A and B are shown apart, each in its own frame.
Chain A
Amino acid sequence: MKIVGIVGSSADFSYNRLLLQFIGRHFGADFDFNLAEIKDLPMFNQDDDQTNSAPVQELVQVIEEADGVIIATPEHNHTINASLKSALEWLSYKIHPLDGKPVMIIGASYFTQGSSRAQLHLRQILDAPGVNALAFPGNEFLLGNVKEAFDDHGDLKDPKTISFLGTCLQKFQRFIKMTEFLNQPEAEVLPPEDLKATGTIDTTIQGVDKSAPDWVEQAAEVAHAVDGKTYVRLNRGILTVDQLNYFLASMPMELTFADSNNQFLYYNQQPDTGEKMLASRNPTQPGNPLINCHPERARKNVEWVIQQLRHGKQDVIRMHVPTHGPDKFVVHNYQALHDETGAYKGLNEYVLDIQPIIDWYLQQTGQKLVGDVDAVSGASEKSGPAKPAVDGVSGASEKAAAPAKPAVDGVSGASEKH
């Protein structure tokens, strides 16, 4: 956990700076601690926007990198120092790096008050909409009579004070963890998915057991499905069923069609070359409700993917599946299907290894991948904990061990940055 301590004074010597330095030394084992100064910041002035100046941006950066902020404030004229207020004005004018950031207020003063009134003002200021920080409630740490409080090494002398400070800091760290929940985007509750495909839609072939191993043959008979040299009119063109099959089999990817009733209807079976499919399918699977194709542990994720597509939250969901080893960049794509009116008609899962494409392209253009190879093969680490590689249809992936909320790489921005 990273915590930055901001010295709320621009004086050359400040006991508040000393207090923060002590925190860094004494409690440094509990969290990464950085000290930040405000004394080089210019006075806030609307006429002369210096949001992009180096001192302001440096402060912004340490705040953005930190999980929590401690502000140590002196008290001048019953309030906080003008330089601290000015810094907060920069941090609330064009940019808002403290928005949603947990902030703990502490303060040291020479006399008995220990910056009590300044701390209350600061709390109100942090509450202002432009700042919108999450001020840590309670646990007020006021260090009065500060001249007697430190020994020659700059360490607090009173063990009780140190112990109380430690308690406050411990609770602050827990508060920081709580605010992570608060800062998460609202998880929208979408209607559950019927993965058993118990319903019927206008294209459902009725009277055939969806789980039957020969569903294709049975259903073809019931529905009088055409095959062979029969022409099918398409948008835009005419092919025979045979041609359509050749065409789909030639696609350099594994295609799977599941309808809006969550019934697995089709995959582009390839000629058997002895090579293992990237997401294995077998000829008995078409017709199955999606629930049949997935182990229990993967079902939550499958449901989430379909919910996203059905309700238009995302149009494509992609995830890389690293379990095929370092020589393959396997990507599972889930693309929503829509009719002419935009209604959800099911999903197209296409699975492919993009490495040959990348290699070929790099070779042709004389370029090469540089730097962080992880950017291609392991991007998942950045977007938070427990990111499962979900296999929506086949459930082959071992990583899909049912977290409550799958953090899947959505194209439209599931990997939010705080």
Chain B
Amino acid sequence: MDKFIGLVGTNSSHSTNRQLLQFMQKHFADQATIELVEIKGLPMFNKPDPDHKQIPAAAQVIVDKINAADGVIISTPEYDHSVPAALMNALQWLSYGVHPFVDKPVMITGASYGALGSSRAQAHLRQILDSPELKARIMPSSEFLLGHSLAGFSPDGELLDREQCNQLEGLFKDFLTFVKITKQLNHAHESNAKEAANFSWEDK
């Protein structure tokens, strides 16, 4: 059974994105193990000592978890048409001399209080994950946008909307397949890894 990391894309204690990942964790328990990982508490990225690129211990813990996982599910809210600074910050640390995301299958989901379901944040997140120092394998042509998320869950954390639940189930099945396929997309892995490793924050 695949082992996934569910990255909560916010540092807020009340988050429907966390709720969504918790729902997936429970709902898909028979298909995969999903461990939720929080990004709260990482210091502000400030490009310290570019020659040595030390990352905080808390970031290293996340790196190790992602390295050991078959894939990552990131659920992001939308702040000001983009992903929250806290998530950007985490991704900066997770690509500073370390490269856990290179060729790692990633599924993006998102929830928002309004109608749009974090659509623009998700588009930004795709571009971010595409950058040479992250270079994740983002599941293409798939989008899960949970709008009006405050009303989206039952008191015991079940996703209320049947149609959306069906969609999520389909997407998750596809993600399991995508993870398998990605394992075969290994011809460029070496050069990808090299490119990411050679990527110098100095040269950017």
Q: Does the CB pair B45–A82 fall under 8 Å?
A: yes
Q: Does the CB pair A10–B131 fall under 8 Å?
A: no
Q: Does the CB pair B85–A85 fall under 8 Å?
A: yes
Closest partner residue, chain B, to A83 (CB atom): B44
B26 within 8 A of A: no
A339 to chain B minimum Cβ distance, whole angstroms, is 49
Q: Does the CB pair A44–B86 fall under 8 Å?
A: yes
Distance in angstroms between the alpha carbons of A131 and B88 in the assembled complex? 18
Give per-residue flags for B83-100: 1 if the beta carbon is below 8 A from chain A beta carbons, else 0: 111101101100100000
B202 within 8 A of A: yes
Q: Does the CB pair A77–B44 fall under 8 Å?
A: no
Asked if A76 meets B80 with Cβ closer than 8 Å, knowing A44-B86, A83-B45, A85-B85, the reply is no
Give per-residue flags for A76-92: 1 if the beta carbon is below 8 A from chain B beta carbons, else 0: 11111111011011001
B167 within 8 A of A: no
B63 to chain A minimum Cβ distance, whole angstroms, is 15
Q: Which interface residue of B44, B95, B203 has the most chain A CB atoms within 10 A?
A: B44
Interface size class of B (residues with CB under 8 A): 35 or more
Asked if A82 meets B86 with Cβ closer than 8 Å, knowing A45-B11, A45-B12, A92-B80, the reply is yes
Closest partner residue, chain B, to A109 (CB atom): B204
Q: Which interface residue of A75, A85, A88, A117 has the most chain B CB atoms within 10 A?
A: A85
Give per-residue flags for B105-137: 1 if the beta carbon is below 8 A from chain A beta carbons, else 0: 000000000000000100010011011011000
Q: Does the CB pair A43–B81 fall under 8 Å?
A: no
How many residues of A are counted as interface, with CB atoms below 8 angstroms from the partner's CB atoms? 37
Q: Which residues of the partner chain B approach A75 to less than 8 Å between Cβ atoms?
A: 204
A216 within 8 A of B: no
**What is the number of contacts between chain A and chain B, taking CB atoms within 8 Å?**
116
Interface residues of B in 45-85 (CB under 8 A from A): 45-47, 79-85
Distance in angstroms between the alpha carbons of A373 and B65 in the assembled complex? 68
Q: Does the CB pair A85–B203 fall under 8 Å?
A: no
Q: Does the CB pair B44–A43 fall under 8 Å?
A: yes
B177 within 8 A of A: no
A111 within 8 A of B: yes
Closest partner residue, chain B, to A42 (CB atom): B44
Asked if A47 meets B13 with Cβ closer than 8 Å, knowing A10-B45, A79-B88, A82-B44, the reply is yes
Closest partner residue, chain A, to B201 (CB atom): A76
B contacts with A: majority SS? loop
Distance in angstroms between the alpha carbons of A228 and B30 in the assembled complex? 104
Question: Of A74, A82, A89, which contacts B80 at CB under 8 A?
Answer: A89
Question: Of A12, A46, A124, A130, which contacts B120 at CB under 8 A?
Answer: A124
B40 within 8 A of A: yes
Q: Does the CB pair A11–B46 fall under 8 Å?
A: yes
Distance in angstroms between the alpha carbons of A20 and B44 in the assembled complex? 22
A39 within 8 A of B: yes
Q: Does the CB pair B44–A86 fall under 8 Å?
A: yes
Distance in angstroms between the alpha carbons of A12 and B14 in the assembled complex? 33
Interface residues of B in 1-51 (CB under 8 A from A): 11-14, 40, 43-47
Q: Which interface residue of A117, A121, A125 has the most chain B CB atoms within 10 A?
A: A121
Give per-residue flags for A27-40: 1 if the beta carbon is below 8 A from chain B beta carbons, else 0: 00000000000010
Q: Which residues of the partner chain B approach A83 to less than 8 Å between Cβ atoms?
A: 44-46, 85, 89
Q: Which interface residue of B95, B128, B134, B204 has the most chain A CB atoms within 10 A?
A: B204
Could you list some 14 contacts between A and B, CB below 8 A?
A9-B47, A10-B44, A11-B47, A46-B12, A47-B13, A78-B128, A78-B130, A81-B92, A109-B204, A110-B204, A125-B80, A128-B79, A128-B80, A130-B80
Residues of A at under 8 Å CB distance from B?
A: 9-12, 39, 42-47, 74-83, 85-86, 88-89, 92, 109-111, 117, 121, 124-125, 127-128, 130-131
Known pairs A43-B85, A79-B124. 14 more at Cβ < 8 A? A10-B45, A42-B44, A44-B84, A47-B13, A76-B88, A77-B91, A77-B133, A79-B131, A85-B80, A85-B82, A86-B89, A88-B85, A128-B80, A128-B82
Residues of B at under 8 Å CB distance from A?
A: 11-14, 40, 43-47, 79-86, 88-89, 91-92, 95, 120, 124, 127-128, 130-131, 133-134, 201-204
